[in-house]
Each structure stands twice: as structure tokens, then as C-alpha cells.
């Protein structure tokens, strides 16, 4: 009963086999190998146009390097107050951005609304050169609370940001889960909606460690090869990153995996609701946030269930009482029906 994180699953067989296959023989290094071009072509296919893409091994590196392309040397990025870039990356954004700054915006379910963005744009100090210049907006898809921005919502937010002179970054650590949930194309919820640069996650979807920084606004990509190298994120044995991304995208393994994770989350959510458990947020991707009673929490833990508490801001249900626990359950491509059923049996 492991629901602690989608990082708790191993790598999916397609990716693992591709890495093993890539292990034989010699290869050019540092992204000069042929497989790197093939991975780029797959990314172009998925996004239905030519893009500049760069592979790195963690989501934090993808976000921090991508945002540094927008903000360096000293710009401000607006983001949700509970976003991973703001709360969970140990200042990597500011570090790689040469002391750039993140400013949080409130919003239900980890999402920023057009009204909240407009209001914040009015409030943020803009007296130059005394204030730091506003440079970016970072949106998380799917959000940290498991909700998805629709293509329409993204278009509205991107328009507001672009009109204010900001570039838009998307933290897509769970981008595949959002595409699967919304039943749209990758293009529709990225560049067609106005996103300028995307951190496209593969790790949570079934890779070992691989994310792509994808530039739709080519002007932002100009110095990126230097930024990645200087930041220590140009892999020498880059073929192993290429192999992962190639296998992840080929035959739409990424979508198959995301659909499975989402389906497990839907099953968990529906059954919990039927059992009278309320959920902190609607379930749109692969995360479920039930409010458990003390007794349920204790019993589940005794039976070995693994999950973590969640700090419930911007909830879509009544807040937990003193003796209740809001927790986060994350499903992955490897979550089984049996795991979900075993959890439900203890409720
Ligand atoms: C929303 C979000 N962005 C990015 C990441 C990537 O983080 P990491 O650097 O651990 O790969 C995570 C991982 O938990 C995440 O949840």
C-alpha cells in the first residue's frame, strides 16, 4: 500500500529496457549521440512542431534552469503560493536565477485564477529601478493539489501575463497526467495556450530520472546550453537520458502510464467518497487528498500503508477537524487495483 509519492515506483519496463539496451558499446557523450537527436524528434512529434529541448535529470533542475532563462539576472516570477518552485526546491530558483525572486499568489487547489493574477499584477511593486522587474509567471500542471488547468484557463492566464510583459513557464512534473485527464493534445495545453517554456516531467511518469526543458519561445533558449552546463546538469553519459525520454515518448508510453495512474486515483476517490470520506480537492489527475479520521489513519498505518500528511490550504471541502487528518495519496503507473482495494478495505 504505497501511496507516498509517484517517485516511489521504480522505472517502467519500457524505460528500463531502453536504458539496458543503450548500455552496450560506445557512444558520443554530452548529448552528441545520435539517440539525443531521436529523443528531440520524438519531443517535436508529441508537441506537433519543432522546439528546442534539453534533457536534465531532476524536476528541480528543469524548473530552476528554465526559470533562469526568463528571469536572470534579477527578475521576479509570480507563482502559486504552494507551488513546488516556491516551497520545495530549497531556493534553487533564486540560486540559478542569480538572486531572482518568487512571489506567491493565493488560489484554490493550487491553481491561480485570472482574477487573482490580475490583482497581484496591480499590487506587486513596479517602481523601477527600485523594485525588481517582473519577468515571469510559473504555473504547475497538474497542480500540487492534483487539479488541472484547462486549455481555456491557460490561454486566459498566458494572455494576462504576456500583456504585462511576462513570459510563462509551466512546471509539468505531472504534465502527462494532465494531458490524459483533460483528453487534449500536449500542444493544446502548452504552446497553443501561450506557454513559453515547459518543464516536461518523465520521472514521475515512469522514467528513472529524466525531464525535458522545452522552449516554445526560441529566444529564451539561446544561452540555455551554457546554462545547463554551467549549472552542472549536462550529463556526460547523456545517452542514458536520451534512452529514457525516447522510450517514454515512443508508442505513447507516457500517456498509457498517465492514464493508468489517473484511473487508479479515480477508483480510489470514488470508493472513498462512497464510504463517506470527504476529499480535499476534486480528483483530476493522479493524486487523492482524503480527510481521514484518527482511527482510519491509525489503522491504515498499522497495516503498513504509506502516505503523508498534507497542509490543507485552498481546500474544496470542509477543513479537517482537530481529530482528522488531511493526507495525500499518489498513484503511479505501477499502482495496482489490489493496492487500492487493500487501502479501501481498511477504511
Ligand atoms: C510539482 C512538482 N514539480 C517538480 C517536482 C520535481 O522535483 P524533483 O527535483 O524532486 O525531481 C516535483 C516532485 O515532487 C513536483 O511535485
| pLDDT tens track for 219-245 | 999 999 999 999 999 999 999 999 999
| CA 127 to centroid of ligand 1, rounded, Å | 34
How long, in residues, is the chain? 347
Query: Does residue 144 sit in helix, strand or coil?
Result: coil
Q: Which three cell numbers stand for residue 134?
A: 517582473
Average pLDDT, stretch 320-342?
96
Average pLDDT, stretch 291-316?
93
| CA 83 to centroid of ligand 1, rounded, Å | 10
- Closest Cα to residue 330, out of 338, 319, 339? 339
Average pLDDT, stretch 152-161?
98
- Which ranges of 194-307 would DSSP assign to H, the alpha helix? 224-230, 239-249, 253-274, 294-302
| CA 84 to centroid of ligand 1, rounded, Å | 6
Q: How confident is the model at residue 301 (pLDDT cuts 50, 70, 90)?
A: very high
Average pLDDT, stretch 111-116?
97
| CA 178 to centroid of ligand 1, rounded, Å | 15
- Give the residue, out of 8, 11, 59, with the most ligand 1 atoms within 8 A of its beta carbon, to mutate for a pocket test: 59
Residue 90 scores a pLDDT above 80: yes
β-strands 101-105, 76-80 pairing = parallel
Residue 69 scores a pLDDT above 80: yes
Q: From CA 255, how far away is CA 262, in angstroms rounded? A: 10
- Closest Cα to residue 137, out of 162, 119, 100? 162
- Residue 313: what pLDDT? 78
Q: Which three cell numbers stand for residue 179?
A: 494531458
Average pLDDT, stretch 150-157?
98
| CA 60 to centroid of ligand 1, rounded, Å | 6
- Give the residue, out of 89, 171, 173, with the most ligand 1 atoms within 8 A of its beta carbon, to mutate for a pocket test: 173
Q: What is the DSSP letter of 330?
A: E
Query: Does residue 233 sit in helix, strand or coil?
Result: coil
**Alpha carbon 314 to chain centroid distance?**
19
Residue 312 scores a pLDDT above 80: no
184-210: pLDDT as tens digits: 999 999 999 999 999 999 999 999 999
What is the average pLDDT value for the chain, to the nearest integer? 96
Where does ligand 1 bind, in terms of residues with CB under 6 Å?
A: 58-60, 84, 140, 144, 171, 173, 203
Q: From CA 240, how far away is CA 228, in angstroms rounded? A: 17
- Give the residue, out of 84, 87, 141, with the most ligand 1 atoms within 8 A of its beta carbon, to mutate for a pocket test: 84
Count H helices and E strands in the chain, helices first: 13, 11
- Residue 72: what pLDDT? 81
- Residue 125: what pLDDT? 80
Protein residue with least CA distance to atom 1, ligand 1: 84
| CA 175 to centroid of ligand 1, rounded, Å | 12
Protein residue with least CA distance to atom 7, ligand 1: 59
100-113: pLDDT as tens digits: 999 999 999 999 99
- Residue 73: what pLDDT? 85
Ranges assigned E (strand) in the chain: 52-56, 76-80, 101-105, 134-140, 167-172, 197-201, 211-215, 287-288, 291-293, 308-309, 324-330
Residues 42/70, Cβ–Cβ less than 8 Å: no
- Closest Cα to residue 198, out of 230, 180, 182, 174? 174
- Residue 79: what pLDDT? 98
| CA 262 to centroid of ligand 1, rounded, Å | 18
The pTM is what? 0.97
C-alpha distances (whole Å) from 127 to each of 135, 137, 263 are 14, 19, 49
- Ligand 1 atom with the smallest distance to the CA of 63 is 4
| CA 274 to centroid of ligand 1, rounded, Å | 31
- Ligand 1 atom with the smallest distance to the CA of 204 is 13
Amino acid at each position: 500500500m504505497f501511496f507516498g509519492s509517484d517517485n516511489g515506483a521504480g522505472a517502467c519496463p519500457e524505460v528500463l529496457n531502453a536504458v539496458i539496451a543503450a548500455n552496450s558499446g560506445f557512444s558520443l557523450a554530452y548529448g552528441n549521440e545520435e539517440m539525443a537527436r531521436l529523443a528531440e524528434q520524438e519531443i517535436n512529434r508529441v508537441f506537433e512542431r519543432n522546439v528546442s529541448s534539453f534533457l536534465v535529470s531532476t524536476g528541480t533542475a528543469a524548473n530552476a534552469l528554465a526559470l533562469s532563462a526568463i528571469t536572470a539576472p534579477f527578475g521576479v516570477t509570480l507563482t502559486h503560493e504552494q507551488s513546488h518552485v516556491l516551497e520545495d526546491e530549497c531556493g534553487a530558483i533564486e540560486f540559478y536565477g542569480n538572486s531572482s525572486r518568487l512571489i506567491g499568489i493565493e488560489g484554490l487547489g493550487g491553481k491561480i485564477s485570472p482574477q487573482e493574477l490580475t490583482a497581484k499584477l496591480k499590487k506587486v511593486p513596479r517602481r523601477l529601478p527600485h523594485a525588481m522587474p517582473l519577468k515571469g509567471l510559473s504555473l504547475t500542471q497538474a497542480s500540487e493539489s492534483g487539479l488541472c488547468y484547462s486549455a481555456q484557463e491557460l490561454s486566459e492566464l498566458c494572455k494576462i501575463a504576456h500583456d504585462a510583459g511576462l513570459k510563462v513557464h509551466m512546471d509539468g512534473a505531472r504534465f502527462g497526467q494532465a494531458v490524459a485527464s483533460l483528453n487534449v493534445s500536449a500542444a493544446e495545453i502548452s504552446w497553443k495556450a501561450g506557454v513559453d517554456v515547459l518543464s516536461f516531467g518523465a520521472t514521475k511518469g515512469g522514467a528513472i530520472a529524466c525531464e525535458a526543458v522545452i522552449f516554445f519561445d526560441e529566444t529564451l533558449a539561446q544561452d540555455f546550453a551554457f546554462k545547463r552546463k554551467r549549472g552542472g546538469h549536462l550529463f556526460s553519459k547523456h545517452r542514458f537520458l536520451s534512452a529514457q525520454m525516447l522510450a517514454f515518448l515512443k508508442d505513447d508510453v507516457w500517456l498509457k502510464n498517465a492514464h493508468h495512474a489517473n484511473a487508479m486515483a479515480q477508483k480510489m476517490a470514488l470508493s472513498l467518497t462512497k464510504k463517506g470520506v470527504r476529499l480535499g480537492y476534486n480528483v483530476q489527475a493522479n493524486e487523492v487528498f482524503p480527510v481521514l479520521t484518527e482511527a482510519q489513519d491509525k489503522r491504515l498505518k498499522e497495516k503498513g500503508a504509506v502516505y503523508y500528511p498534507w497542509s490543507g490550504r485552498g481546500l474544496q471541502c470542509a477543513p479537517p477537524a482537530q481529530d482528522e487528518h488531511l493526507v495525500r495519496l499518489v498513484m503511479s503507473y505501477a499502482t495496482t487495483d489490489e493496492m487500492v482495494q487493500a487501502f479501501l478495505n481498511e477504511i
